[in-house]
């Protein structure tokens, strides 16, 4: 299957270990050039917008001209090609190569390859902010990046929406002192106070269904191995499926976010098309939220009928890692379902 061969070609760009096509980089540019050659090979009209996003538009079989002023021209399918350092083989790339395959089979719609998804959906956000034309429908295939589908023994899942998230920090103050001469009683150790905050943040998230909270960065001052910490800075990343639970989590933790992205819900005909296609194949329809951000979420909040199809992740659902894995059989099934959903939305 060309999808698997193309995944291998993209994975080789940037050198290992893993996928190394960060935004912006020469490796990301190389990946876009390679994808552009595949679009031309598929007979699509290639376009690069002012933000660097790459498109491949289906053309009329009779005239060879770009399909325009039709329903099919308002359907985009795609994802991104940038990666985190030492990322996985499938993240983003699968959605792009599957989109090319699906549109080549159906002969309608447009492939969309966005820039900089891993660093905040740079390309899709720029297009929305600039008021550039958007599709009426956007379909995105992506690996799950988690264990839910594997635990459910389901090859595919329909995404209900993308969680909202808020980011900020805590700063804990203490008093520095000599590690050997200051008695344990009476110490003002900022790191000990921070440890209690880490556990409190965890418990706040556990108390709210489907909420998560992460402290991924700890900065300790003055940072000497023989000095009692006087100041600790903790990063906060909290997420929840809807605004109500996100608000509740932020309030329970008690911090002022300096960055917030609202949840995006996938509703309407595009999501229904994925459900119908999966059900028609006699498979159980598993629905689940996405705990990670995607370009589909940016377009959904801009009013696009967006939908996402997840393919089962193996290896415990690990992602953003060379250990990221989905089976060839699941990938082939996902491409077929994406193709059928595209055909349904471009009739």
Nearest CA among 208, 78, 106, 156 for reference residue 313: 156
The whole-number average pLDDT for the span 234-240 is 97
* Angstrom distance (rounded) from CA 163 to CA 238: 10
pTM for the model = 0.88
The whole-number average pLDDT for the span 130-148 is 97
Return the pLDDT at 70: 42
Run of H or E residues at 196: helix 190-206
* Angstrom distance (rounded) from CA 330 to CA 184: 57
Return the pLDDT at 71: 40
Give tens-digit pLDDT for 61-96.
544 555 444 444 599 999 999 999 999 999 999 999
Return the pLDDT at 16: 86
Return the pLDDT at 65: 55
188: exposed, middle or buried (C-beta count within 10 Å: 0-12, 13-18, 19+)?
middle
Return the pLDDT at 69: 42
Cβ-Cβ contacts under 8 Å for 196 (sequence gap 6 or more): none
Give tens-digit pLDDT for 256-280.
999 998 999 999 999 999 999 999 9
Is a pLDDT exceeding 70 seen at residue 104? yes
| pLDDT > 70 in the chain, percent | 96
Give tens-digit pLDDT for 3-38.
999 999 999 999 889 999 999 999 999 999 999 999
Return the pLDDT at 64: 52
Give tens-digit pLDDT for 183-213.
999 999 999 999 999 999 999 999 999 999 9
Which is more confidently placed, 69 or 129? 129
Question: How far apart, in Å, are the Cα atoms of 272 and each of 151, 160, 211, 344?
Answer: 24, 11, 26, 10
| pLDDT > 90 in the chain, percent | 93
Is a pLDDT exceeding 70 seen at residue 224? yes
* Summary mean pLDDT of the chain: 95
Dump the DSSP string for 223-266: --TTB---EEEEEEEEEESSHHHHHHHHHHHT---SEEE--EE-
């Amino acid at each position: 299957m060309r999808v698997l061969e193309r995944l291998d070609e993209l994975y080789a760009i940037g050198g290992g270990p893993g996928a190394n096509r960060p935004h912006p980089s020469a490796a990301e540019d190389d990946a876009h050039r390679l994808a552009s050659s595949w679009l031309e090979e598929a007979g699509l009209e290639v376009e690069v917008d002012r933000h660097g996003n790459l498109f491949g538009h289906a053309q009329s079989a009779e005239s060879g001209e770009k399909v325009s002023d039709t329903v099919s021209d308002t359907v985009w399918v795609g994802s991104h090609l940038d990666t985190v350092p030492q990322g996985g083989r499938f993240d983003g790339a699968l959605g792009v190569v599957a989109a090319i395959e699906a549109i080549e089979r159906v002969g309608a719609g447009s492939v969309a390859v966005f820039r900089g998804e891993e660093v905040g959906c740079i390309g899709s956000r720029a297009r929305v902010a600039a008021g550039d034309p958007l599709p009426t429908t956007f379909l995105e295939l992506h690996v799950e990046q988690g264990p839910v589908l594997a635990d459910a023994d389901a090859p595919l899942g329909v995404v209900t929406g993308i969680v909202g998230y808020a980011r900020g920090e805590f700063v804990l103050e203490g008093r520095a002192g000599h590690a050997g001469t200051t008695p344990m009683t009476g110490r003002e150790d900022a790191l000990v106070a921070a440890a209690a905050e880490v556990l409190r943040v965890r418990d706040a998230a556990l108390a709210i269904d489907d909420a998560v909270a992460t402290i991924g960065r700890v900065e300790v001052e003055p940072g000497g191995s023989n000095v009692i910490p006087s100041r600790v800075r903790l990063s906060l990343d909290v997420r929840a499926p809807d605004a109500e639970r996100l608000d509740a989590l932020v309030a329970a933790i008690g911090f002022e976010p300096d960055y917030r992205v609202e949840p995006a819900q996938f509703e309407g005909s595009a999501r229904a098309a994925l459900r119908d296609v999966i059900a028609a194949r006699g498979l159980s329809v598993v629905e689940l939220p996405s705990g990670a951000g995607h370009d589909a979420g940016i377009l959904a909040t801009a009013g696009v009928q967006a939908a996402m199809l997840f393919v089962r992740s193996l290896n415990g659902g690990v992602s953003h890692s060379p250990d990221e894995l989905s089976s060839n059989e699941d990938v082939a099934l996902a491409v077929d379902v994406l193709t059928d959903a595209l055909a349904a939305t471009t009739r």
